[in-house]
Structure 1
Amino acid sequence: MSALNQLHLAQPLTLPNGVVLKNRIGKAPLTEGLADPMNRATERHVRLYGRWAAGGAGLVVTGNVQVDRRYLERPGNVVIDGNDGLEALRAYARAGTANGTQLWMQINHPGRQTPRRVCEQPVAPSAVPLALPESAFAHPRAMTAEEVADLPRRFAHAARVAHETGFTGVQVHAAHGYLLSQFLTPLVNRRDDRWGGDIAARASLLLEVVRAVRAATSPRFCISVKLNSSDFQQGGFSNEECLRVVTWLGEASVDLIEISGGNYEKPAMMGSGAKESTVRREAYFLDYARSVRKVATVPIMLTGGFRTRAAMEAALEEGACDVIGLGRPMCVDTDLPNRLLHGETDRAEAYEERIVPAKAGLGWFCLQLIAHGDGREPDRALDGEAAIRGYLANEESTAAALEGRS
């Protein structure tokens, strides 16, 4: 046990605001789809996050809590937008902060990545549609200047509610092609007002959101940003631009930056398009994290592809990152952090390698989260085709329930 206590993964981390993470394992944000028809938290969140808190991670970040009920990443998102549900959020926070766990609410606006099943008219910095079937995502309209200027208030309101209901921090989602990420890329942000132009102008909304969130909360309330290392698209948000934004975020006094990459059109965050050598190395964005580390003045969480404790230890030991983010394995094995830290295993199961067809992966992992939320054990033997059918049926029924809300 003494050797295990020397693991880099087991060491505490003091954040810039003085808050301490009990270890270096972070449960990365994962969309859950467990909200009620009014987009409020439910007992299913309590069960799921209770399991993650008991599982031993120092940090647990929620999935996609939206700041505007009109625009959802999927039908079952929790939203904080005048829809009440504060007691449910308090129960959610109590469960997720048990066992000395830091629980941060990921706050987001999906922008044009709003499915047609929940919104026929999504919004974006500019009216640039996704290069995906329009049957799934409708053509967006450009946001008005007034709508853009209102976004920091919306994010700040969600953060204030998170603070008041017992969450210990928030993560502002500015990655994976959602709205703040859309403002960062010139492929989608073609505005000619103060929100568009060079990278300083394109990043100004994100920085205003961070400042508004800080003003609405307290110094000991943690603020994180999830940022793409790159969009991996020609002419999109580049790694060079990422480094400049990381510098500005440090000056804005964030407490941690989570590095990822990609979007719906180029899903690098799922390992899509990664070189075989990158997959074998496990950490999809490790090289990018190394470059970020050179300019970052705050801790870095690196998410994407980690499966073995050896690779996690190596990334921490070389200083490429400060926290290891685990996503898909935690959909199934909520106690994985404890088992890694206590020597019961030296690796996370690579469930994605077993799923056939591979396109069933999203649905397969989402159904595991639903199982946890329902108090059931995950179905590790779930067939890929059955996962596709089950996931689509769940999304349609959850979307249908939204239609009758007031």
Structure 2
Amino acid sequence: MNTTTIASTYSLQGFEFKNRIIKGAMSEGLANKAGEVNDKHLKLYETWAQGGLGCSITGNVMVDINAKNEPGVVAIEDEHDLAGLTQWANIGKQYNMIQLVQLSHPGRQCPKGLNKETVAPSAIPFSPALSTFFGTPRALTEAEILDIIKRFGNAARICKKAGFEGVQLHGAHGYLISQFLSPLTNQRTDQWGGSIENRMRFLLEVYKEVRQQTGDNFIVSVKLNSADFQRGGFTEEDAMAVFRAIDAEGIDFIEISGGTYEAPAMAGAKRKKQGEQVKQSTLEREAYFLEFAEKIRQEVKTALMVTGGFRTRQGMDSALQSGACDFIGMARPLAVETDAPDHLLSGNPSVRYAVKPIKTGLPMLDKMAVMEVIWYAAQFKAIGQGKKPKPNLSPLLVLANYARGNIKAVLQRRTRLRA
């Protein structure tokens, strides 16, 4: 009988996770325009560490300062901010919390005007609903693809030097690795496009480069979609092939997620194939992607992490004891209940706060996952300033502040270009 619970330990690459609860990546939006770590990051992650997490995965960290997905993201291109990164890594060590840096490139998923240009596997525009916010990208050249692969490896090397226990490659939610995987956004005819074997080449080469630059005694994880929930896109069958391939390469663990900005399943939106209904049994089991985890568990040997939907101790323990996953990912609850792990580990049956969809009343925005990013980032800013989170924070107020910040970032970039 499997007696694993969220209190059980787990060992990877010589590091021991003190429990099975991992904070999933959520964008903090706290860095300056140079993409540097500051005291707000340190306070935020110290608060989470004090709350009992076994492991924390940072928000999106860019491997190219000129390719940001939003203002305020950390970027790692060289060692100029090594001291700040080292302080960040040391927080986890003080509280026996493993810390992984989520490395990412946004590809086409950048707001208009934020960067000089946007690039992607192919020059495919967003859907009409999102084209107002995101421009049509330029297709990457072969030389640029190889440069980005090197950037992932270099950023991982710096993370190891700073003292982080590992990195996570962001291959989900419509960012660049995910764009290469999907036939909707990757319509290349060279070795990087076409068959699923070619479309996964970018991910596999990124992994190999990261491992080559970091070696052993360093955790390398990847976050992958079970599907992107778009007709003609990255399918569950594609996902199975990618999971098997990255497992064969030696990945340490895979986090299972799903969706994109255009079909935001990761935020708890509709998670079903065309014409199907979400089963009541699935809803009762809490986790959004647990059924896929059960399927993939039969295909791969690596550890699996499922994030999204977990709210009760029973649901978490049941998922672990079923063997479908090895880690429980929590994200949004931690934005308003920073000590949720300790609360659950102490025997309480569920998290205290009910996480609700973030609605502005503006239909076009409410269909997307954008507010699910920026509302929580506003909570992180408050925590980083030593304040308490506000579960009733107005989404419209957050949207207005975010818009002002975006406009300011665009104007600053234009001023620098004219100088």
Looking at structure 2, the residues matched to 402 and 86 of structure 1 have their Cα atoms a distance apart, in angstroms, of: 25
- Alignment-derived partner of residue 328 in structure 1: 332
How far is 1:7 from its partner? 6.3
Query: Does 2:90 match 1:102?
Result: no
Q: Is 1:123 aligned to residue 119 of structure 2?
A: yes
- How has the CA–CA distance of structure 1 residues 70 and 9 changed in structure 2, closer, same or farther, with 3 Å as cutoff? same
Aligned positions of 1:225-244 closer than 5 A: 225-244=222-241
SS of the equivalent of 1:300 reads: strand
Q: CA RMSD in A?
A: 2.0
* 2:346 aligned with 1:342: yes
Instruction: Tell me how far apart the structure 2 counterparts of residues 405 and 276 of structure 1 sit (CA, whole Å).
Output: 53
1:58 to 2:54 alignment: yes
> Does 1:48 pair with 2:44?
yes
**Unmatched 5+ residue regions in structure 2?**
272-277
The match for 2:316 among 312, 318, 321 is 312
CA distance in 2, matches of 1:7, 1:319: 9
Q: Does the alignment pair 1:203 with 2:193? A: no
- Cα displacement (A) at 1:380: 2.1
Kindly provide the CA deviation profile for residues 35-75 of structure 1, in whole angstroms up to 9, marking residues without a partner as x: 11211111111111111111111110001100111111111
State the distance in 2 between where 1:263 and 1:351 align. Answer: 20
| Structure 1 residues 256 and 399: CA distance shift in structure 2, 3 A | farther
Shift of the alpha carbon at 1:354? 7.8
Determine helix, strand or coil for the equivalent of 2:65. Answer: coil
TM-score after normalising by structure 2: 0.90
- In 2, distance between residues paired with 1:267 and 1:377? 28
CA distance in 2, matches of 1:311, 1:404: 52
Distance 1:237 1:325 in 2: 23
Q: Secondary structure at the match of 2:114?
A: coil
User: Does structure 1 retain, via aligned residues, the 8 Å contact 2:173–2:261?
Assistant: yes
CA distances 1:191-221 after superposition (whole Å, capped 9, x unpaired): 1111112111111111111011011113111
How far 1:96 sits from its partner (Å)? Answer: 3.4
Structure 2 residue matching 1:295: 3-state secondary structure? coil
The match for 1:3 is none
For the 8 Å contact 2:313–2:348, the answer to whether it is kept is: no
| Matched-pair contact (CA < 8 Å) for 2:31–2:72 | yes
Matched, 1:367 2:410: no
Q: What is aligned with 1:160?
A: 157
Change in 2 beyond 3 A, CA 1:399/1:20: farther
Distance 1:288 1:276, change over 3 A: closer
**Cα distance 1:354–1:89, how it changes in 2: closer, same or farther (>3 A)?**
closer
CA distance in 2, matches of 1:219, 1:391: 40
The CA distance in 2 between the partners of 1:286 and 1:82, in whole Å, is 38
SS in 2 for 1:211: helix
Q: Deviations over 1:106-132 (max 9, x none)?
A: 000000001113125211101101114
Deviations 1:245-290 (A, max 9, x none): 1111112111110000001111110111133734443211111111
Pairing of 1:25-104 with structure 2 (within 5 A): 25-82=21-78, 84-104=80-100
Partner letter of residue 123 of structure 2? Answer: A
Q: Which moved more, 1:280-289 or 1:151-160?
A: 280-289
- Would the alpha carbon gap of residues 21 and 185 (structure 1) be closer, same or farther in structure 2, given more than 3 Å must change? same
Q: Is the 8 A contact 1:301 1:323 kept in 2?
A: yes
Distance 1:53 1:399, change over 3 A: farther
Pick aligned residue for 2:18 from 15, 19, 22: 22
Asked if the contact 1:66/1:109 (under 8 Å) is kept, the reply is yes
- Please say if residues 75 and 402 of structure 1, whose CA atoms lie closer than 8 Å, have aligned partners that are also in contact: no
Q: Is the 8 A contact 1:185 1:236 kept in 2?
A: yes
Instruction: Decide whether the 8 Å contact of 2:168 with 2:222 is kept in 1.
Output: yes
Between the aligned partners of 2:285 and 2:178, the Cα distance in structure 1 is 27
Sequence identity (%): 41
Matched residue of 1:157: which SS?
Answer: helix
In the superposition, the TM-score normalised over structure 1's length comes to: 0.93
Would the alpha carbon gap of residues 130 and 355 (structure 1) be closer, same or farther in structure 2, given more than 3 Å must change?
closer
8 Å Cα contact 1:40/1:84 also seen in 2: no
Give the whole-Å Cα distance in 2 for the aligned partners of 1:300 and 1:31. 22
Contact 1:86–1:165, Cα closer than 8 Å, also in 2: yes
Distance 1:403 1:311, change over 3 A: farther
Q: Which residue of 2 aligns with 1:386?
A: 397
Mark the CA change 1:402 to 1:56 in structure 2 (over 3 Å): closer, same or farther.
farther
Indicate yes or no: 2:187 matched with 1:183.
no
- Look up the equivalent residue of 2:193 and give its one-letter code: G
- Following TM superposition, by how much is the alpha carbon of 1:353 offset from its aligned partner in structure 2, in angstroms? 5.1
SS in 2 for 1:156: helix
How many Å apart are 1:104 and its aligned residue?
Answer: 0.2
In structure 1, what is the Cα distance between the partners aligned to 2:101 and 2:114? 22
Question: What is the SS of the residue equivalent to 2:298?
Answer: helix
Unaligned runs of 5+ in 1: 1-5
Once the two structures are overlaid, the 10-residue window that deviates more, 299-308 or 119-128, is 119-128
